[in-house]
């Protein structure tokens, strides 16, 4: 688990200034935006990325993604373990599915360091973002301004001034908690079992010398600590290294007052599976490429906003469809016989290849390999 390295006290000196781009948030989405902006033409733009924590300091997820995404982004050195099989447990039976592509767990600190190394021209400072006042971002160290601002701070959507509810349980959020005990396991496993959570699932994701065991609940009112402890005990590991977070399960407006929202702040997390890392990469690349076009003089700020919003809206339909699947899981999961029947019906080689192939296309890994923002935004629709 990452150790706390964020500066405190006298080390947190005043911070102010104007930049060409201000990226708020330095995890998956923010780092990916920064990666794209490091490719701007000369003279280089002034880009500042800020976060409350040092880069790679605060892990909040199970840290797993399709392996091709990590390879295509040059992050394969962070991979801890790869899987082609997925084991699904219901109360009545277990199923082993062979996937048409590899899924991988990775080291969060290592991955963040590798992504950071791909944006050497982007400055970084630790500062807690408190709010936005027009074009001014207010932090605990001072005020910062930029004509191009990105909110990659997560589900709280800190830079939004809209009246919509953000705080749970009013917002469209799921909740997750996991433990990270030291253990060696071979199987990537999921539990669809109401004994742990009626609307949601449990997981066990091996990652080298540790295993990440947790519970995700689609119902934000339901606490998940006790079922996480029970699942860990059933898996045969101790409950060490707690971490958790709220998980958005519905898309939000990607543009507000000219600010670009990406990752969890825009609800870029796939409903039903709560997979948000590759979508943070995916939308982060799209956002970064649009901003790069502005900095290179190939697009205006207004055009970039319209194109990025269109990119997000074109993908909203599949997110909405999977939100319906999530609701269906919540209805079926409390009925063990019905859930087992559903999983059994899916246990077909042709169906698995088709369904998981379509699922990967929601955010296809080859998107990371393209260089032209305009060609990519038109040709890589999910």
Tens of pLDDT along 218-243? 999 999 999 999 999 999 999 999 99
- Say if residue 3's pLDDT is above 50: no
- Say if residue 5's pLDDT is above 90: no
When pLDDT is cut at 50, 70 and 90, the band that residue 164 belongs to is confident
Question: What is the number of alpha carbons within 13 Å of residue 363 lying toward its C-beta?
Answer: 27
Mean predicted confidence (pLDDT) in 253-262: 97
* Percent of the residues in the chain that have a pLDDT greater than 70, as a whole number: 93
- Say if residue 20's pLDDT is above 50: yes
Q: How far is CA 191 from the centre of its chain?
A: 21
When pLDDT is cut at 50, 70 and 90, the band that residue 377 belongs to is very low
pLDDT of residue 7: 56
Segment 268-296, tens digit of pLDDT: 999 999 999 999 999 999 999 999 999 99
Mean predicted confidence (pLDDT) in 69-96: 97
Mean predicted confidence (pLDDT) in 259-267: 97
How many Å apart are CA 144 and CA 251, to the nearest integer?
28
pLDDT of residue 373: 40
β-bridge mates for residue 17, sequence order: 144
Closest CA to 61 of 212, 174, 169: 212
3-state secondary structure the chain: CCCCCCCCHHHCCCCCEECCEEEECCCHHHHHHHHHHCCCCCCCCCEEEEECCCCCCCCCCCCEEEHHHHHHCCCHHHEEEEEEEEEEECCCCEEEEEEEEEEEEECHHHHHHHHHHCCCCCEEEECCEEEEECCEEEECCEEEECCEEEECCCCCCCCCCCCCCCCCCCCCEEEEEEECCECCCCCEEEECCCCCCCCEEEEEEEECCEEEEEEEECCCCCCCHHHHHHHHHHHCCCCCCCEEEEEECCCCCCEECCEEECHHHHCCCECCCCECHHHHHHHHHHHHHHHHHHHCCCCCHHHHHHHHHHHHHHCHHHHHHHHHHHHHHHHHCCCHHHHHHHHHHHCCHHHHHHHHHHHHHCCCHHHHHCCCHHHHHHHCCC
* Percent of the residues in the chain that have a pLDDT greater than 90, as a whole number: 86
Query: What's the token pair of residue 72?
Result: 């295509």
pLDDT of residue 382: 34
pLDDT of residue 170: 74
> What is the torsional sign of CA 31, 36, 41, 46?
negative
In order of 73, 211, 270, the CA distances from 99 in angstroms are: 21, 21, 18
- Say if residue 9's pLDDT is above 60: no
Segment 126-141, tens digit of pLDDT: 999 999 998 899 999 9
pLDDT of residue 166: 75
When pLDDT is cut at 50, 70 and 90, the band that residue 41 belongs to is low
Average pLDDT, the chain: 92
- Say if residue 381's pLDDT is above 50: no
When pLDDT is cut at 50, 70 and 90, the band that residue 172 belongs to is confident
Mean predicted confidence (pLDDT) in 183-203: 97
Cβ neighbours, 10 Å, residue 341: 14
pLDDT of residue 376: 38
Q: Are strands 142-145 and 17-18 parallel, antiparallel or unpaired?
A: parallel
Q: Are 278 and 363 in contact (CB under 8 A)?
A: yes
Most confident of 20-24, 56-60, 374-378: 20-24
pLDDT of residue 365: 96
């Amino acid at each position: 688990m990452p150790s706390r390295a964020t500066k405190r006290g006298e080390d947190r000196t005043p911070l102010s200034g104007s930049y060409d781009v201000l990226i708020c948030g330095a995890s998956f989405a923010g780092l990916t935006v920064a990666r794209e902006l490091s490719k701007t033409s000369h003279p280089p733009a002034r880009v500042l990325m800020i976060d409350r924590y040092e880069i790679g300091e605060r892990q909040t997820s199970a840290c797993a993604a399709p392996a091709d995404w990590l390879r295509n982004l040059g992050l394969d050195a962070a991979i801890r373990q790869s899987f082609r099989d997925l084991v699904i447990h219901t109360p009545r039976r277990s199923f082993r599915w062979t996937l048409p592509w590899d899924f991988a767990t990775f080291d969060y600190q290592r991955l963040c360091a590798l992504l950071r190394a791909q944006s050497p021209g982007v400055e970084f400072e630790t500062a807690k973002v408190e709010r936005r006042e027009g074009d001014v971002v207010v932090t605990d160290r001072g005020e910062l301004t930029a004509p191009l601002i990105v909110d990659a701070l997560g589900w709280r959507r800190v830079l939004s001034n809209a009246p919509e509810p953000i705080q749970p349980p009013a917002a469209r959020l799921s909740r997750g908690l996991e433990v990270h005990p030291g253990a060696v396991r071979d199987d990537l496993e999921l539990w669809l079992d109401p004994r742990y959570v009626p609307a949601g699932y449990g997981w066990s994701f091996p990652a080298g010398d540790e295993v990440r065991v947790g519970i995700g609940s689609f119902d934000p009112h339901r606490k998940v600590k006790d079922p996480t402890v029970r699942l860990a005990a059933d898996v045969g590991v101790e409950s060490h290294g707690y971490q958790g977070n709220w998980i958005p399960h519905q898309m939000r407006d990607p543009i507000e007052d000219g600010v670009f929202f990406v990752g969890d702040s825009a609800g870029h997390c796939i409903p039903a599976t709560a997979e948000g890392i590759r979508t943070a990469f995916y939308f982060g690349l799209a956002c970064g490429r649009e901003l790069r076009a502005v900095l290179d003089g190939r697009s205006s700020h207004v055009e970039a906003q319209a194109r990025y919003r269109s990119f997000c809206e074109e993908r909203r339909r599949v997110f909405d469809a999977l939100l319906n699947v999530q609701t269906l899981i919540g209805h079926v999961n409390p009925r063990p016989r019905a859930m087992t029947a559903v999983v059994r019906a899916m246990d077909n080689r042709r169906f698995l290849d088709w369904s998981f192939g379509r699922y990967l296309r929601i955010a296809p890994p080859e998107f990371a390999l393209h260089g032209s923002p305009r060609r990519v935004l038109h040709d890589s629709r999910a």
